[in-house]
Amino acid sequence: MVDALVLNDVRKSYGNREAVHGISLTVKEGEIFGLIGHNGAGKTTTLRMISTLLNITSGTISVYGYDVATEPGKVREIISYLPEDAGAYKDLTGRAYLEFIAGFFASGKERDAMVEKGMRLADLGDRIDSKVDTYSKGMMRRLLIARAIMPSPKLAIMDEVTSGLDVINAFEIREIIREIARSGVTVVMSSHNMFEVDMLCDRVGVIDGGNLILLGTPGELKERYGADTLEEVFVKAVKNA
C-alpha cells in the first residue's frame, strides 16, 4: 500500500520553546489515522505543519511523495484541511461558499459538478441558499466537511472534527468520514473524543508534550495496556510517560 503521509523526525519550535519533539510516523493510503493528546500536546501544530500552514523547524514531511517544505503548492493540490472551529465567509450563502472554494480546483462544468457534489454532501436542503451566518454549528460543520471533501482530496486533515456537535450531527459526520475513507481518501484527524477515535480510526498515535508516545491500532493499544477502552489506554500512557 502507498505511503500517503510520512513524518520523519519532525520538530517545531516557537522561539526557544520546542512544541513538537521529533515525531516520526507513516500513514498508509485509505487509512483513517487518529492523533490524540490533551490540550497543548502538539496535535494541532503537527496537523498545521502537514497542511503547509506552519514551517517545519527540522525533519521532513511528505504527502504522497511531495515534500511539504519544498513543494507546498503540490501538497495543497492533494490535501484538504479542516481547522478546529473553522468558519465560512458569513456574507456568502452555503452554495456561494462552495462555488468559491470549487473555483480553486476546477472551472466550467467540472466546477459545477464539484459544487453539486458539495451540496449533496452538505445535505442542507433549501438552506444551502441561506447566508452562512444563519447556520447552526451542525449545519456549518456539514458545509465545511462538504467543502473539504468536495474536491476529492487524496489526504483529508481534520482537527477536532466533531467538537461541540450534538449526537446526531456527530454521528452523521463520522458516517461521512467512513464513506470517504472507503472511497480511498486518507484521513488524518485529531480528537479528544476517545470513543470516536476508537470507532473510526484504523490506527492511532498518542502525543504528549510534543512526543509521540504510542502508535498502533486501537485493538493493539488496548491489548498492550490491558484496557477496555482507548480512554483508559490514553490515561495510562500519559501517566506513565
Partner 1 sequence: MSHITNIISKELKELLTPGSVISVVLMVVLFAGLGGMIDSEIEKAQAFPELCVVNEDASIIEFTDADGTYTWSISSFLEDLYTSSGIPEDELSDYIRLVDSDSIDEAYAIMDEEGIGSALFVDPDFSKDIVSGTRGVVEQIYVYEPTGMFGTVSSSVVSSVMSMINEDLSKRLLGTQIDMTDYGFLTEPIDYNGDNVKTIVNGKVVSGITPQEIAGEVSSQTMMIPIIIMIIIMMVGSLVISSMGSEKENKTLETLLTLPIKRTSIVAGKIIAAAIVGLVYGLAYMVGMSIYMNSLTGTMSSGLNLEDLGLTLSVGDYALVMLSMFLSIICALGICMILGAFAKNYKSAQTMTMPLSIMAMIPMFIVMFSGWYGSGALIQAVTFAIPFSHPMMAMQALMYDDVTLVLSGIAYMVVFAVATILITVKLYNSDILITGLGQNKTVQKLTGRK
Q: Is 178 in the site for partner 1 (CB under 8 A)?
A: no
Q: Is 55 in the site for partner 1 (CB under 8 A)?
A: yes
Please identify which residue in 4, 61, 101, 187 interacts with partner 1, judged by CB under 8 A.
101
Of the candidates 57, 29, 5, the residue with the CA atom closest to the CA atom of residue 181: 29
φ, ψ for residue 71, nearest 5 deg: -130, 55
Q: Is 54 in the site for partner 1 (CB under 8 A)?
A: yes
Residue found by looking up cell 501544530 in the block: 45
SS (H, E, C) 64-81: CCEECCCCHHHHHHHEEE
Q: Minimal distance in Å, beta carbon 240 to partner 1?
A: 27
Q: Is 65 in the site for partner 1 (CB under 8 A)?
A: no
Q: Is 21 in the site for partner 1 (CB under 8 A)?
A: no
Please identify which residue in 24, 40, 104, 166 interacts with partner 1, judged by CB under 8 A.
104
Do 205 and 35 touch, CB atoms closer than 8 A? yes
Q: Is 195 in the site for partner 1 (CB under 8 A)?
A: no
Q: Strand 66-67 relative to strand 17-28: parallel, antiparallel, unpaired?
A: unpaired
Q: Minimal distance in Å, beta carbon 112 to partner 1?
A: 19
Do 188 and 82 touch, CB atoms closer than 8 A? no
Please identify which residue in 6, 86, 96, 213 interacts with partner 1, judged by CB under 8 A.
86
Of the candidates 20, 26, 38, 19, the residue with the CA atom closest to the CA atom of residue 191: 38
Q: Which stretch binds partner 1 (CB under 8 A): 22-30, 52-60, 63-71, 118-126?
A: 52-60
Q: Which stretch binds partner 1 (CB under 8 A): 10-18, 109-117, 195-203, 231-239?
A: 10-18
Please identify which residue in 59, 67, 105, 178 interacts with partner 1, judged by CB under 8 A.
105
Q: Give 182-205 as a DSSP string.
A: HTT-EEEEE-S-HHHHHHH-SEEE
Which C-beta is closer to partner 1: that of 10 or that of 230? 10
Q: Give 1-26 as a DSSP string.
A: --EEEEEEEEEEEETTEEEEEEEEEE
Rounded CA-CA distance 174/199 in Å is 9
Beta bridge partners of 203: 33
Binders of partner 1 among residues 138 to 157 (CB under 8 A) are 147
Which C-beta is closer to partner 1: that of 62 or that of 80? 80
Q: Minimal distance in Å, beta carbon 72 to partner 1?
A: 9
Which C-beta is closer to partner 1: that of 48 or that of 174? 48
> Amino acid identity, residue 106?
A
Secondary structure class of 116 (helix, strand, coil):
helix
Q: Is 77 in the site for partner 1 (CB under 8 A)?
A: yes
Q: Which residues bind partner 1 (CB under 8 A)?
A: 14-17, 48, 51-55, 73, 76-77, 79-90, 101, 104-105, 147
